[in-house]
Amino acid sequence: MIKKIYETLLDFITKKEIYGTIITIAVNYFLYHTICLILESRINKAATAFEKKKRKTIVSLSNHILKYVFIIISVVFLLSLYGFNIKSMLAGLGITATILGLALQDTLKDIINGMSIIMENYFIVGDIVKYNGFTGEVIELSLKSTKIKNHAGETLMISNRNIYEIVNVSQNNQNVQVEFSIAYEEDVDKVEEVIKKSILPKINKIPSVKEDSAIFLGISALDDSSVKYLVQYHCDRDSQWRTRREALKIIKKELDKNKVKIPYPQLEVHNESKIHTKR
């Protein structure tokens, strides 16, 4: 009984369709992951941080392309193994491709634009981009879509056909403007002196901020309960959120140190002790 089961199992395994399927999948899986590892090893050999991120983007996109290529190769081999006429199937592929092209126009646009992102250096993984008011870091780029993650941890997925609606804000040195509120009762000249002598020098010392780039732009607005002041500085690519947080910390500490009041919402109540009524 056991011998018969063993022989049946052996006959099943030794069929070319079975071991051929296993070998085809195993070889393509091995080749795919080997090529991916080779490509990823090139990332660490980049000379600069920008070049490293650019290579990472190319590797990410290449991995997606390779995945589809090896899937197609595997399917072709398996169909041939199971006796399908590949030549006749390829002959009808042109008509099928035309039909699919019409049905999948948006998908094809995504793929073409995904490739053009790299060719035109529109943006890379790690860049800060803006899309319909959503600003964040590009964390993944595939053939069909781009994923963006903002500082709050929210992730937005955008179809690559919409890349021309994305604004890249980190290709060059980043220009950062920081606006903050001061109470109306504070003397303007005193506030400006604190900004120029205490705040700006410390902002200039923040890592990634360009030397002597921090400047005072003046009063930006007169709000209902506060005066808005505006400072500006330049920083390295992709460091705007970190440097902005550090700049705000410096502003708060220096204003407190110099006893400059930062306003907060207040409610003013008028109470009339006498009410005159005419009859």
pLDDT reported for residue 279: 46
**Number of C-beta neighbours around residue 56 at 10 A:** 20
200 shares its domain with 126: no
187 shares its domain with 230: yes
pLDDT at residue 17 greater than cutoff 70: no
pLDDT reported for residue 256: 93
- Whether residue 36 is contained in a domain is answered as yes
DSSP strand pairing (134-141 vs 145-149) = antiparallel
86 shares its domain with 13: yes
Question: What is the arithmetic mean of pLDDT over 227-231?
Answer: 93
Of the residues 168, 186, 209, the one at which a domain ends: 168
Structural domain total, the chain? 3
**Which domain range does residue 156 map to?**
119-168
146 shares its domain with 225: no
16 shares its domain with 55: yes
162 shares its domain with 178: no
193 shares its domain with 123: no
189 shares its domain with 243: yes
- Whether residue 278 is contained in a domain is answered as no
Tens digit of each residue's pLDDT (9 = 90 or more) over 251-264: 999 999 999 998 87
Question: Which residues contact residue 74 at a Cβ distance below 8 angstroms, ignoring those fewer than 6 apart?
Answer: 24, 25, 28
CATH number for 245: 3.30.70.100
- Whether residue 18 is contained in a domain is answered as yes
197 shares its domain with 161: no
- Whether residue 251 is contained in a domain is answered as yes
Which residues, in sequence order, are bridge partners of residue 176? Answer: 233
Cα–Cα distance, 276 to 279 (Å, whole number): 10
CATH number for 153: 2.30.30.60
- Whether residue 178 is contained in a domain is answered as yes
The reply to whether the predicted model has a pTM over 0.75 is no
Paired tokens of 141: 């780029």
219 shares its domain with 153: no
- Whether residue 104 is contained in a domain is answered as no
Q: What is the mean pLDDT of the chain?
A: 77
* DSSP structure class, residue 209: B
pLDDT above 90 covers what percent of the chain? 22
Lowest-pLDDT range, 19-28, 52-61, 62-71, 195-204?
52-61
Cβ burial of 200 (10 Å; 0-12, 13-18, 19+) is buried
- Whether residue 262 is contained in a domain is answered as no
155 shares its domain with 193: no
- Whether residue 108 is contained in a domain is answered as no
Higher per-residue confidence, 154 vs 39: 154
Tens digit of each residue's pLDDT (9 = 90 or more) over 153-190: 888 888 877 777 788 776 656 778 899 999 999 999 99
* DSSP structure class, residue 46: -
54 shares its domain with 130: no
Lowest-pLDDT range, 149-153, 189-193, 232-236, 254-258?
149-153
Higher per-residue confidence, 55 vs 95: 55
